[in-house]
Amino acid sequence: MHYGMLVGKWHLLQLPESKMKKLNDHDSQINNSPDNNRRRFIKAGLSACALFSLPLAASLSHAKILQPVEKTLGFVNLHTGEKIHSVYWAEGQYIPEALQSFREVLRDHRTGDLHAMDTDLFDLLHLLKSQMNSDQEFHVISAFRSQKTNEMLASRSGGVAKQSLHTLGKAIDIRMPGHQLSNLRTAALSLEVGGVGYYPKSDFIHIDTGRTRSWGG
């Protein structure tokens, strides 16, 4: 699938051919790098510059790339009923007010604790939403978890990691109304970025920004 067709409006930046050759040589070196996780991030989106603010962005900042004008996400917290739909990235930068609003909706609903959420997670969800060709809000089963909540859940179920990425604001459990869970999982796996867990009996998938892996039926 051509990602340039997915996210709407884009800026096209160009570089002289001589400099493009140097950048192509640089890209070739990157493709042979052992840093598999970074390579997966580049492969999954339009470029590291456009999506994930990685160190590679500096070296590609003048290359021929496609960048979205803005990024929008929507969430519904199924435990509190709170909803938000907001532009969180525009004109090349994240919008602090939107990130704070996301943080509040995605808080630990049991304790009320808040934690900064990983912006790479939001970018990954934005790409997933585009892959699904949908503007639906994500229904959230679990996002940030305090250590207290995570320990309680881990004591009740062997399926909860004691060192869960939820406690770092780097994971989220979601479903998307109007879309089959299996299709959402397939789309997430196709991105080849981070962790993807499949829980059909509980009707959600887990997404995180850890190493690339998958589990579940």
Tens of pLDDT, residues 168-202 = 999 999 999 999 999 999 999 999 999 999 999 99
Residue 163's pLDDT band (cuts 50, 70, 90) = confident
Distances (CA, A) of 62 to 44, 45, 77, 106, 161: 20, 17, 39, 35, 41
Longest CA span, the chain: 60
**What pLDDT score does 203 carry?**
97
Burial of 47 (0-12, 13-18, 19+ CB in 10 A): buried
pLDDT more than 90, % of the chain = 61
Query: What pLDDT digit, counting tens, does each position of 52-92 carry?
Result: 444 333 333 333 345 668 999 999 999 999 999 999 999 99
Residue 115's pLDDT band (cuts 50, 70, 90) = very high
Q: Where in the chain is the domain with CATH 3.30.1380.10?
A: 70-215
pLDDT at 113 over 50: yes
CA gyration radius for the chain?
18
**What pLDDT score does 76 carry?**
98
Could you tell me which CATH number the domain at 70-215 has?
3.30.1380.10
**Higher pLDDT among residues 129 and 18, named by residue:** 129
**In sequence order, what DSSP letters do the residues of the chain get, joined into one string?**
--GGGTSS-EEE----HHHHHHHHHHHHHHHTSS-HHHHHHHHHSS-HHHHT--THHHHHTTSS-EEESEEEEEEEETTT--EEEEEEEETTEE-HHHHHHHHHHTS-TTT----PPPHHHHHHHHHHHHHTT--PPEEEEE----HHHHHHHHHH-TTS-TT-GGGGT-EEEEE-TTS-HHHHHHHHHHHT-SEEEEETTTTEEEEESSSSEEE--
Contact 13, 64 (CB under 8 A): yes
Highest-confidence segment of 33-42, 106-115, 157-166: 106-115
pLDDT at 120 over 90: yes
Average pLDDT, the chain: 78
CB burial string 179-189: b at 16+ within 10 A, e below = eebeebbebbe
